[in-house]
Amino acid sequence: MIMTEPDADAFVTGWIEAWNSHDVERITSHYRDDVDYYSPFVARLASGRDHLHGRNEVRDYVASALDRFPELELGPIIAVAPGHGSVAVVYRSVENLLAVETLVVDERGLVRRAHCHYRRGE
C-alpha cells in the first residue's frame, strides 16, 4: 500500500492532534495491539528499555511522557512524506527537539512499527 500525500497528511494531522489532546486512549488508538515502538525516549521513560512491544506498553509509556512533560505540544509539522506502507513526519517535539518519525502502517491505517529520531533544535 502506497500512501497518497492527502492520506499521509490526514493521518499525521490526526496523530499529532491526538498527542496534543493529552488523551492516552486517543493517542494509543493509532497503534496496533502488537506494535513495535523504537525511540531514544523509551530508555529515559521506561526503565532503561530500548524499545516497546504492544499497545499496552506504549500506553504506559505515553502516560509517563505526559506526566513528565505536562506542557507537551507537538508541532509545528515541518514535513510529511508518504511511502510504501509508511509515512515519515518531521516536526518540533518536547525540549525543542527536531523530531523525525517513520511510522509503518498496516492496511487498516494502524501503526505496526514506529522509529523515532531526535536532534537538538537550532
CB 16 within 8 A of CB 97: no
Given this model, what pLDDT does residue 121 score?
A: 67
What confidence tens digit (pLDDT) does each residue in 14-53 have? 999 999 999 999 999 999 999 999 999 888 777 778 899 9
Angle at 118 between CA 7 and CA 16, to 5 degrees: 35
Given this model, what pLDDT does residue 122 score?
A: 65
What confidence tens digit (pLDDT) does each residue in 72-121 have? 999 999 999 999 999 999 999 998 999 999 999 999 999 999 999 999 96
CA atoms within 13 Å, Cβ hemisphere of 5: 1
Rounded Cα distance, 109 and 78, in Å: 21
Cis amide bond preceding 76, omega within 30: yes
| β-pair partners for 36 | 53, 113
Q: For the chain, list the domains and their CATH numbers.
A: 5-119 (3.10.450.50)
pLDDT for 7 beyond 80: yes
